Amino acid sequence: MRALVPGKGDAMHLNSLFAGRYHRRFLTVSAALVAIGLTTATAEELPKMDVSREAVDDLAQAQAPHFLPGSITAEMDQATSAVGTGWAGYNGATDTPVFSSTAEVWLVPRFSLLAGFGTTPQPGKVSARAQGGARLLVLDQRHHGVNAGVGFLYRQDRFANEEGMLEWSAMVSRHFGATLVLANLVYAQDGEGDDREGEIRLVGMQDLKRGFHVGLDNRLRKSLGSSDPHRAQHANPVFEFNAGPMLAYTISRWSFMMEAGISGQKVDQLRTGTLVLGGVGASF
């Protein structure tokens, strides 16, 4: 008897179903672990803190990189077990409001889980979709001269109509006195592997003491190629960027941030506009 061989369409359908179930289970487990970690972190009694001006400035400098919008830091702060951050604002390039929220919990000193949500990047559309992933810190500046790590993130806010996007990132940062330089290098693809993107992010922050920080945030994301014949129909951007100054103020375990600058996005043609963001974060 002649064996039945599934066609390409059947295989892609089965692969899509499998990927969707896997992603939903992954996000469910990640969210549960984050909730457990946050409960544990807030329930534990905090050790007695050094409240001198130098200690407060050092704590603020260590915490500030954890609250940057959309970037994964390579910083390792021994005094922090969990971080929660929320951002909201307006992107003139897409003429839409933007918002995001992320929680990160360290299971062990160098390994953490992340979960949250972000808005989709399609022009004229606003939809919040889930994100979830993990971060592993490999090097720290005190012992190796530089902070470095790797991360993985599953994002439903990108390629939302194609089961989301998988992102692998490399993070590097280094302190030069009161100045922090941070870089993210990202490779991303959809579940079928026929849409690929790359991103680079460069951030510089200057600690002004007394909890204040100023900096520059720069991001560039570009399509690395696509063999998907339906990409144009989904209005997924092929080029994005944003650049601008930011200001942060950290007091105790809380940080308040503002960022303003220029943003751009190309789907069929390049559109630019003003990007304005405000955020709040807390560490435990």
- Structure confidence by residue, pLDDT tens digits, 46-72: 344 444 445 445 545 556 677 787 767
Instruction: Please state which of the ranges 125-129, 152-156, 197-201 shows the lowest mean pLDDT.
Output: 125-129
Task: Name the DSSP letter for residue 273.
Answer: E
- Positions of E strands within the chain: 82-91, 96-108, 111-119, 128-139, 147-155, 165-176, 179-190, 195-209, 212-226, 239-251, 254-266, 270-283
> Does residue 169 sit within a domain?
yes
- List Cβ<8 Å contacts ≥24 apart for 199-205: 201/70, 201/71, 203/68, 203/71, 204/179, 204/180, 205/64, 205/65, 205/179, 205/180, 205/248
The C-alpha angle with vertex 41 and arms to 36 and 43, in degrees rounded to 5, equals 95
> Does residue 120 sit within a domain?
yes
> Does residue 93 sit within a domain?
yes
pLDDT of residue 207: 93
The enclosing domain of 279 has a CATH number of 2.40.160.40
pLDDT of residue 15: 44
> Does residue 122 sit within a domain?
yes
> Does residue 1 sit within a domain?
no
State the average pLDDT for the chain: 81
Q: Is the pLDDT of residue 148 over 90?
A: yes
Range of the domain at 152: 8-283
| Domains held by the chain: number | 1
Instruction: Please state which of the ranges 38-42, 56-60, 169-173, 275-279 shows the lowest mean pLDDT.
Output: 38-42
Return the percentage of the chain with pLDDT > 90, whole number: 56
170/185 Cα distance (integer angstroms): 5
pTM of this prediction?
Answer: 0.76
> Does residue 2 sit within a domain?
no
Instruction: Please state which of the ranges 61-75, 106-120, 136-150 shows the lowest mean pLDDT.
Output: 61-75
Determine how many CB atoms are found less than 10 A away from the CB of residue 265. 23
Q: Coil, strand or helix: which one is 232?
A: helix
> Does residue 267 sit within a domain?
yes
> Does residue 3 sit within a domain?
no
- Structure confidence by residue, pLDDT tens digits, 11-59: 444 444 444 554 455 445 444 444 444 444 344 443 444 444 454 455 4
